[in-house]
Amino acid sequence: MDNVTIGFIGLGAGLLLIALRVPIGVALGSVSFLGIATILNARAAWGMLTAVPFNFVGDWNLTAIPMFLLMGYVAGATGLSKGLFSAARIFLSRLPGGLAVASVGACGLLSAASGSSVAVSAAFARIATPEMLRYRYHPGLASGVVAAAGTLGSLIPPSILMILYGYVAEVSIAKVFMAGFLPGLLSALMFAAMIIIRVKLNPKLAPPVDDTVSSAEKLAALREIWPLPVLIIGVLVGIFAGFFTPTEAGAVGALLSLLLAATRRSLTWPILKRSLLLTLAGTASIFMVVIGTVLLGKFMALSTVPAVITQWFMGLGASQLAVIVAVSVLYLILGCFLDSIGLLLLTLPIVLPMARDSGMDLIWFGIILVKLLELGLVTPPVGLNVYVTKSALGSLVDLTTIFRGVGWFVVTDLITLALLVAFPWISLVLPNMMS
């Protein structure tokens, strides 16, 4: 049996184990170990199995992951995001579908501090959806908007997916962060525009809110939410201006969140302990997946499967657009069954050589991949954000209604994706300014 055949069998076995609900890191690590042992020998496979985790965990660049996780957990647990929806509602409720538009804005802002799509959707499903239902919003719109807008956490920096992509693709994480800012803003604006247009055409979707808000209430709302913008701006401006690297920015963000929480007197020892424990658990979970996929990358390189696929595909005369279309189809299919981190790391050993050989800008390509991963978070049958939203809402809205409500946002996201593909400068203008 030749190496290429062994590689394809290993890929199939890995996908089968994942389908059987074996943890992704364990499934990919086991398959890779056996594959390397078959191609080389058991001693070489054992050597890689012992060396790869040590080298990976010891990589300085990846310390940003636990730091950004800690920043998000502290911000959420100490109430730095408290009043976010209320403030957005005060300023945006006059728009058609204003409460839904406010949800998009609040989700986008919290995403920039959290980096977790699931956490954002869960939070606003409890806060925003009941409020919209109280004002007789259509249940599909009221629930679908928080499930979809929660995905902004993947694209708006700081993002764990971007850190992992930059590490594996060997491109500047700072530039990937900056490349995601305008596409993330564009995604939020497209969601808001879609909501306004739909409500204009069908006002029954979202009856107008006639609450009168005084200037004093507006000032009070701004005083309530000021820590979160300070946290986000402090991190992003520091990276963009070159005051610190993305790795250092993680530590700066974590420290800043602690200082802001202490200033508001909302930081307690139980909250700090719980945030640290959640950070440890989240980091361990992510690192297990990454270690498995790094081993898979070694296995794939030895089997030459990526090279064979790339040569075959490029031999068809495939252009950059054809590569993007092929990768999009792959991600939209696999995104229905795999979580975003697992899907990204599983496919990078295959898709990165195709992107490189087509002459594609890898920073731009990374933004396209993250956008595709966002879509996977809301597409059936998995649609992780949809299930998280359903879990948070309980019996308020049924699962079918949420999926139907999300459909409009999926179409909007596909249009946004087409714009990002057609106009690469949207993603590259800020990274090029850093250069």
The verdict on residue 257 lying in a domain is: yes
Q: What is the mean pLDDT of residues 85-107?
A: 80
Q: What is the mean pLDDT of residues 272-298?
A: 82
Please state, for a pLDDT cut of 90, what percent of the chain lies above it: 13
The verdict on residue 94 lying in a domain is: yes
Task: Return the pLDDT at 44.
Answer: 83
The verdict on residue 288 lying in a domain is: yes
Give the best-scoring range by mean pLDDT among 57-66, 167-176, 295-304.
167-176
* C-beta neighbour count of 72 within 10 angstroms: 31
CA 162/CA 154 separation, integer angstroms: 8
Q: Residue 21: which region, alpha, beta or left (left: phi > 0; alpha: psi -120 to 50)? A: left
The verdict on residue 1 lying in a domain is: no
Contacts (Cβ under 8 Å, ≥6 apart) of 26: 17, 288, 292
CA 412/CA 340 separation, integer angstroms: 20
The verdict on residue 36 lying in a domain is: no
CA 394/CA 391 separation, integer angstroms: 5
Task: Return the pLDDT at 337.
Answer: 64
Task: Return the pLDDT at 396.
Answer: 83
Split at pLDDT 50, 70, 90, the class of 260 is confident
Residues in the chain: 435
The string of DSSP letters for 280-313 reads HHHHHHHHHHHHHHHHHHHHHHHHTHHHHHHHHH
CA 425/CA 327 separation, integer angstroms: 20
Q: End-to-end CA distance of the chain, in Å?
A: 48
pLDDT higher than 60, residue 316: no
Split at pLDDT 50, 70, 90, the class of 403 is confident
Task: Return the pLDDT at 318.
Answer: 65
Q: What are the pLDDT digits (tens) for 347-389?
A: 888 888 888 888 889 999 999 999 998 887 787 766 778 877 8
Select from 251, 211, 210, 203 the least CA-distant residue to 74.
251
The verdict on residue 48 lying in a domain is: no
CA 15/CA 202 separation, integer angstroms: 44
Q: What is the mean pLDDT of residues 311-340?
A: 74
Select from 190, 225, 187, 192 the least CA-distant residue to 206.
192
The verdict on residue 252 lying in a domain is: yes
User: Domain limits at 356?
Assistant: 61-434
The verdict on residue 192 lying in a domain is: yes
Task: Return the pLDDT at 187.
Answer: 93
Q: What is the mean pLDDT of residues 221-249?
A: 78
Find the range with the poorest average confidence among 75-84, 157-166, 254-263, 415-424.
75-84
Output the CA torsion sign for 273, 277, 280, 282.
negative
The angle formed by the CA atoms of residues 56, 169 and 147, to the nearest 5 degrees, is 90
CB 376 within 8 A of CB 332: yes
The string of DSSP letters for 227-252 reads HHHHHHHHHHHHHHHTSS-HHHHHHH
Give the best-scoring range by mean pLDDT among 41-50, 192-201, 352-361.
192-201
Domain count, the chain: 1
Please state, for a pLDDT cut of 70, what percent of the chain lies above it: 91
Output the CA torsion sign for 329, 335, 337, 340.
positive
CA 142/CA 175 separation, integer angstroms: 35
pLDDT higher than 90, residue 193: yes
Give the best-scoring range by mean pLDDT among 213-222, 274-283, 333-342.
274-283
Q: What is the mean pLDDT of residues 5-29?
A: 81
Find the range with the poorest average confidence among 56-60, 178-182, 244-248.
56-60
Task: Return the pLDDT at 80.
Answer: 67
CA 111/CA 72 separation, integer angstroms: 9
370 burial (CB, 10 Å; 0-12 / 13-18 / 19+) is buried
Burial letters 372-391, b for 16+ CB under 10 A, else e: bbbbbbbbeebbbbbbbbbe
Task: Return the pLDDT at 412.
Answer: 94
Q: What is the mean pLDDT of residues 305-309?
A: 71
Token couple for 145:
């908007």
